[in-house]
Amino acid sequence: MKRYLNISLLLIGLCILALVNNSCAISPYSYGIVSLKVSESQEVYFKREARGVSHDSLVLSANKDYCAEQFHRSTSIFHASGSHSIYYKIENGILIMYPSSAATPPESGQFPVKVVQHDLTTLDYAELQNNHKKLGLKYLEVKLDEKLKCK
């Protein structure tokens, strides 16, 4: 019994040591970015920022700098835990989105690109996941890229 206790304490100590070492070497923030060309002259960027277990935000922005302030007035912000799920299509310079969680409109009320957001019930969203290709929608995934760092 004493032997198992010693082994358990040793394993716990090693885990704590590994966590402390890794927390000093790895940035607490992770970033991801995806660009969408809405028209010949306009592009928008979905920027993702994650840290810890519970913070994961997705921002729609006209600014491609993923280190720029995430909650600027010219952005639409998605509030949700975990990764975000968005289906979209672009028609005549308009970004049409079907997000799994609603975006907060920009404070200024203006965005350089027209965005139409469709809010769906959970049941409707589940159906959309199965039929999005038939509807001409694409799935947007903003993966975290450990190579992206901010100062």
* Domain assignment of residue 4, yes or no: no
According to the model, what pLDDT value does residue 54 have?
Answer: 78
The predicted model scores a pTM of 0.74
According to the model, what pLDDT value does residue 22 have?
Answer: 44
According to the model, what pLDDT value does residue 85 have?
Answer: 87
According to the model, what pLDDT value does residue 5 have?
Answer: 53
According to the model, what pLDDT value does residue 125 have?
Answer: 92
- Per-10-residue mean pLDDT of the chain, 151 residues long, equals 56 50 59 94 91 84 81 67 84 94 77 90 93 96 91 77
Q: What secondary structure letter does DSSP report for 48?
A: E
* Domain assignment of residue 8, yes or no: no
* Domain assignment of residue 97, yes or no: yes
According to the model, what pLDDT value does residue 52 have?
Answer: 81
Residue among 37, 35, 38, 36 nearest 93 (CA):
38
What CA–CA distances, in Å, run from 109 to 75, 79, 106?
A: 10, 18, 5
* Domain assignment of residue 14, yes or no: no
Q: Range of 80's domain?
A: 28-140
Number of domains making up the chain = 1
Give CA–CA dist 4/34, Å, rounded: 49
* Domain assignment of residue 12, yes or no: no
- Give the burial string for 124-144 (b: 16+ CB within 10 Å, else e): ebeebeeebeeeebeebebee
* Domain assignment of residue 146, yes or no: no
Helices (H), 1-151: 2-25, 122-131
